[in-house]
């Protein structure tokens, strides 16, 4: 088990200087709708020069059921794959796509079964789009899922639509206790902290690789 952080903030050198030495990796974001969240090339170099590795998360909002459907899966996958290439993310590493809400909170007028179908369609579209790009060149990015325990189990273990999973820190969300085992998750979010005036989530790895990278 190794320890790290994730944050939506773009990190300056002074911010990185405040990160404790035992935090070995930092999760940073790709987003087609929110440029203020995006990892930049210069930032990736700063993070790695400061002794940390990076893991990649894709999220715009992704915090309500109706955001998940085939069309958004195609758009998000296409953007994430190309952006990962542009910032120097190496081959055979994952991008974790966020499902940042409890699956027990479906869209108005829909059921939980409808929500699961939405999320399935979203990740199925990502899988198909990644296959297209992966087959075109030397890079071969993997798919990860971030979310509640039930969604991580469903997308990674049950459906095989992701190779990696990142368990959200909300313990009240569906399936947390059932999924809270290092043999199941690759990463687990723990708690909110602040270093150097920046909010981070603390993160721990599970058993085996979780797909961090360096430039």
Q: Which domains does the chain have, with CATH numbers?
A: 3-205 (3.20.20.80)
Question: According to the model, what pLDDT value does residue 141 have?
Answer: 97
Give percent of the chain with pLDDT exceeding 70: 100
Nearest Cα to Cα of residue 103 among 152, 59, 144, 60: 152
**Mean pLDDT for the stretch of residues 121-126:** 98
pLDDT computed for residue 173 by the predictor: 97
For residues 128 and 147, the answer to whether their CB atoms sit within 8 Å is: no
pLDDT digits (tens, 9 = 90+) for 29-73: 999 999 999 999 999 999 999 999 999 999 998 999 999 999 999
Contact 190, 209 (CB under 8 A): no
Pairing of strands 3-6, 198-205: antiparallel
Residue 175, pLDDT score: 98
In this predicted structure, the answer to whether residue 137 has a pLDDT above a threshold of 80 is: no
Helix (H), strand (E) at residue 128? helix 112-134
3-state secondary structure of 212: coil
Question: Residue 138: which pLDDT band, with cuts at 50, 70 and 90?
Answer: confident
Task: Tell me how far apart the alpha carbons of residues 8 and 80 are, in angstroms, rounded to a whole number.
Answer: 16
Q: What is the mean pLDDT of the chain?
A: 96
How many other CB atoms sit within 10 Å of the CB of residue 113? 9
């Amino acid at each position: 088990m190794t320890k790290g952080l994730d944050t939506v903030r773009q990190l300056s050198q002074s911010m990185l200087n405040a990160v404790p030495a035992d935090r070995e990796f930092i999760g940073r974001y790709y987003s087609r709708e929110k440029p203020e969240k995006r990892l930049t090339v210069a930032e990736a170099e700063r993070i790695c020069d400061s002794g940390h590795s990076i893991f990649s998360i894709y999220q715009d909002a992704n915090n309500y059921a109706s955001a998940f459907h085939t069309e958004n899966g195609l758009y998000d996958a296409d953007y994430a794959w190309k952006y990962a290439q542009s910032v120097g993310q190496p081959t055979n590493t994952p991008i974790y796509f966020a499902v940042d809400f409890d699956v027990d909170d479906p869209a108005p007028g829909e059921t939980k079964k409808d929500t699961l179908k939405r999320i399935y369609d979203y990740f199925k579209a990502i899988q198909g789009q990644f296959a297209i790009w992966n087959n075109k060149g030397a890079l071969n990015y993997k798919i990860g899922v971030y979310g509640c325990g039930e969604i991580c189990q469903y997308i990674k273990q049950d459906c095989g639509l992701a190779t990696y999973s990142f368990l959200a820190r909300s313990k009240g969300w569906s399936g947390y206790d059932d999924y809270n085992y290092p043999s199941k998750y690759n990463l687990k979010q723990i708690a909110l902290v602040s270093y150097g005036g920046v909010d981070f989530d603390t993160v721990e790895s599970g058993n085996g690789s979780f797909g961090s990278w360096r430039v």
